[in-house]
Each structure stands twice: as C-alpha cells, then as structure tokens.
Structure 1
Amino acid sequence: MMKRTALILLGSLVACGVAHADARAVRRTAEASMLVTGHVQVKPDGTMQGYTIDHWQALPAPVQALIGRLLPHWTFQPTGSDSQVVDSSMSLRVLARPQDDGSYKLTIAGSSFGGPPNPGEAVALLTRRAPFYPRGAAKAGVSGTVYLLVQVGRDGHVLDAIAEQVNLDQYGTELQMRYFRRLLADASLDAAHAWTFRVPTVGPRAGAPFWVARIPVHFNLGGEGGPGKDLAYGHWQRYIPGPREQAPWAGKRLAGGAPDAVPNGSTQTLGAGLRLKSPMGS
C-alpha cells in the first residue's frame, strides 16, 4: 500500500478553503516510487552481458516484470576497454504513475551507476558533518531528501554547491512547500560547505580543475540531517518531487540523470562510470 501522509501546519492558513484547494492540487503531484539496487555487467561495445538485482524476491511482481522486460535491451556508451567487461553498481528509480482508470503505469524514471572501478578515479567524502534539522521543519513534522550538487576543488574543499532537488514526504500549499524546501536546502548547504573530499589522483579526469559530486541528504525525525531510517526495501514511497535546479558549473550533460536515483548515504561522481545510451523505457 502506498504511503499517504498529510502535512498539518500553519493551521489558520490551511483552514481557508482556497488553501485546502491549493494543498489538494499539490497532493496530485505526489509520486509513488521505489529504489531498486543491483549490478550491471556491460561489454566493451556498450551492450549488456547481464545484470543482478538485490533482494529480487522482495520486489513486487509488476516491478520484476518491468525490469525483466527492459534491462536486457539497454545499451551504454562504449566502456573504453578493449576486452574487459565492466561490472558496475546500479540503482533504479521505479515510478508508479496514476492513470485515469484508477490503475498505475510503471516506468523506470531514473538510473544511477557506480563510479569507475578504480576508487582513485572518483570523488569520495572524507569528512561530513550532518546538517542540523531546521527547528521549523522538525516542529511541523516535515521530512524529505535534499539532492546536492557539490563542486569540489583540487584541494578537496567545496568551491560551490546547490540544492539540485528537494523532495518532501508531506504535502501542503505551494507556499508551505517552498518554505520547507528552502529550510531543508539551506541546512544542507550550510553543512556541505564544511565537507572535505578525497579527489581523483589517477585516470582521465585526474587533472581536472574541479569535480562535481551528487550527494543526497536525508532528513527525518529519527536521524537529523543524516541517512535516517528508510522504508523497507521493495516498498513504495510516496513523496512530492521538487523542481529541478541547474548549476552553471555542472552543465546539462554532466548533470544528466535523475538525482533521486542516487541512494541515501552515497556519493556519485558526475562524468565518471557508465553512461546509459538507450532510453530507459516503460
């Protein structure tokens, strides 16, 4: 069963009929999704050799059928290896979109693939201070996930950062949603500017002037600003997706892919690892 939660806040505003109508309109933008993880094996020419999915039996049968129908036909940009098969971690964001007849259509809405096989080619967090949970969000019982894009300099310090997307687990009016997205984003950015990273020392991008990493920051009342307790694997999560922002130093090609396909607690080095060439499909 999909999670349905209502955000009770700013009571005098929500009591207004116009505000209720606004909140209902926001609720209709809610998405039900599931994060599926595993590994993919890709031949040098970019065609699939095989894949494995974590905890396959825990997934609903329609999700199993969707993955089995689409993944064998995926193709990737050539790996650059003459003969070696690339084995990469993978996470998929499976989305259930409501249809007019009351049913749901399943799609793979986003994908994320692990970095290069050599850890020395990827950006990795060295020190990470968890953000403080904003008092206003904690008092209202608001939770969600902030997806950061972080520009990392050659000394391992943060040059710049933006909140690429903020997804909330509760709904309210547009005004309320913007307010709480901003609270969670600001708390994440304040913490991120103090983080330090291990930067690539080998590989084709070792001499780059900077690197870009995508990092999720999960807020819930059980773990302030850190990777809190998530839903059990194989269960649907209902949330309100926030608007997507762009960083001028990342660019559309580098920052491609879906932010919410990156698992909590991980760091994705943009521009490294496998790149999907074919459409994900539905």
Structure 2
Amino acid sequence: MRYLSRIAMLALMFAAGTVLAGTPDSRPVRDRIEASMLVTGMVDIDPDGSVSSWKLDQLEKLPPAVTELLAGTIPGWRFKPILIDGEPAAVRARTSIRIQARKLDGDNFLVEVAGAHFGSHKDADVPTYRRLTSPHYPTELAKAGAGGTVYLLVKIARDGSVEDAIAEQVNLKTIASDPQMRRMRGRFEAAAIYAARRWTFNPPVTPDDAPYWLVRVPVDFIAPGLRESGYGEWSAYIPGERRTNPWVQEDDRVSPDMLAAGGVYPVGLRGPELLTPLDVPQG
C-alpha cells in the first residue's frame, strides 16, 4: 500500500475532473468519499500457482503511485493450481484490478489494491446482448448535475428477454445529505431497471438446461457538462451498500464495482482462485 497527501490526491482528482461538489449540509458525508481506478492487464500463472509474468494495459497512462504499488504486489500473488485434464497447467488470465484511495485520519489518503477479477481460462458460451437501450436520465438529477453508476444484476429468461433485474449497488458521484443521496440512488436505480426490463439478449448457443442466466451490467449516469473518467484517471464517488444476490446463495466473489460500464458480465464463471491476500507486498 502507498500513502498520498490530501493535496496530491486532490490534484489527481481535479486532473480527472472527478472532484465531487457538495452542499453545506453534506459536510459529514465527505469523509466517506472514495476514489478508485480500474486497471486491466494479463497475468501468467505457472502450474504451481505462482505468477511467472504480468502485463498492464496502457502502462503509460497509469500514475507512478499505481504502477509502483502493483509492481510490488502482483509478483507475490499465488493462485490455486489450475487443472486441465486432471494435471496442473500454466494458464494466462485476463484481469481487472481496482485501485482504491480512501481518506485516513488527517489529510492523508491510503492507496491500496481493493479488488481483482480474473477471467476464466476456459472458452464459454454465454449470453450476449441483442439490444441495450440507454436509460432515461432523471430530469431533476440532470438539472442538479448529479451522477452515479448503477450496477445491475439481470436475470435473463430462456427466450432472451429480461425476467427480472435488481441494483446490486449504486455509487454516487455527487455529495449531498444522506436523505438526498437515498433519493438520488432510488431515482437512478428505478431508471436503470426500467430500461433493463426492455433489453433483449442472445441465449447461449450450446444446449443448456438452465432455467435462466444471470449477468451483471454496470450503467453510468454522467451529468451534463461532465465526462467519464478515462483509463488511468481517478474516479471519485460515494459508495452505496451492496445487496445480496437473491437468485444465487453462494457468493461468486465478484464485486460489482470491479466491472467497467458498457459491458455484460456473466455470473458464475469462475476464474483462477487467488490464495494470497490482494495487497501484501512481495517478500
């Protein structure tokens, strides 16, 4: 883990255009602000589960604090050996890593690896989207400059229609009082779910007797006049509470905010299993 001063952290957030605006009655909420960055790349895993090599995408866009943190962390990861035809094998896994900066006491921020998602090494036939219409931006929230991300969990029927949808988590990019933020989350959630119920998907081609399929779909609401944070830029937000998946009892170990908006992510595809903590320096 690394530490950044408040001045350095705010400079990074201002550069990304993601510092949150607030009102006088929102001051207690400010200590709950988090900033995160989603970093993607590849990890090569040896038959014994150790990391033989790794590569980050668009390295030149990543801040030195982030590259140094990962360079001291990833080589120390160890995975459960992956069996192919019953034998331990070397595999390459696609990964997305969430770097988080959160406020400590005083003016310092702690920068750490908060989560990682590893893609399955197996080819899989999964649902793909046919039509994903964008949700209507709630007018009053657009006028107020409010933004956020709704992480949807979508239940797909066998004909490709949406049988049901819930919001697993709603992160806000606007500071307000707690009652105001509850209303904002509710409005963004309702708009996203209303749109999702009209989406259609292509069911898997391979014969499958599953009664339904589950996917995650992050939906961004970017306030007028603002822009989405680019790769290698910090995004500041007020995290929302994560809800339990009502259709699956076992936790699939995937945090919804590990997933980038604009994609469809099947639930239940397990990638390599990490045995060591995420943020323990090598050696």
Question: Which TM-score band applies after superposition, normalised by the shorter structure?
Answer: 0.7 to 0.9
Q: Which of residues 23, 26, 30 is equivalent to 1:27? A: 30
2:117 maps to 112
1:88 and 1:117 in contact (8 A); partners too: no
Q: Distance in 1 between matches of 2:250 and 2:32?
A: 24
Aligned residue for 2:239? 241
1:174 aligns with 2:200: no
Q: Which whole-Å deviations, capped at 9, do the CAs of 1:140-181 have from their partners, x for residues lacking one?
A: 111111001112222222222110011111110001000011
Structure 2 CA distance for aligned equivalents of residues 87 and 57 of structure 1: 22
Q: Aligned letter for 1:142?
A: A
2: distance between equivalents of 1:231 and 1:76?
A: 31
Q: Which of 96, 102, 113 matches 1:97?
A: 102
Counterpart code for 1:157: S
Whether the 8 Å contact between 1:145 and 1:216 is mirrored in structure 2 is yes
Contact 1:116 1:273 in 2 (8 A): no
Contact 1:76 1:274 in 2 (8 A): no
Task: Determine whether 1:211 maps to 2:209.
Answer: no
Deviation at 1:93, TM superposition (A): 1.1
Structure 2 contact 92–121 (Cα < 8 Å) conserved: no
SS in 1 for 2:72: helix
Q: Tell me which residue corresponds to 1:40.
A: 43
Structure 2: gaps spanning 5 or more residues: 1-10
SS of equivalent residue, structure 1 residue 166: strand
CA shift for structure 1 position 281: 1.8
1:75: Cα distance to partner?
3.0
Give distance in 1, aligned partners of 2:161 and 2:43: 32
Partner of 2:255: 258
Quick one: distance in 1 between partners of 2:175 and 2:102? 17
**Aligned AA (1:233):** Y
- Is 2:198 the partner of 1:194? yes
For these two proteins, the number of residue pairs brought into alignment is: 262
Shift of 1:58: 1.8
SS of structure 2 residue aligned to 1:57: helix
Instruction: Note the 1:57-96 alignment, pairs <5 A.
Output: 57-81=60-84, 82=87, 85-96=90-101
Change in Cα spacing, 1:171 to 1:46, as seen in structure 2 (3 Å) is same
CA distance in 2, matches of 1:136, 1:191: 18
TM-score under structure 1 normalisation? 0.83
Q: Tell me the amino acid that sits aligned with residue 185 of structure 1.
A: E
| RMSD, aligned CA | 2.4
Q: Percent identity, aligned pairs only?
A: 37
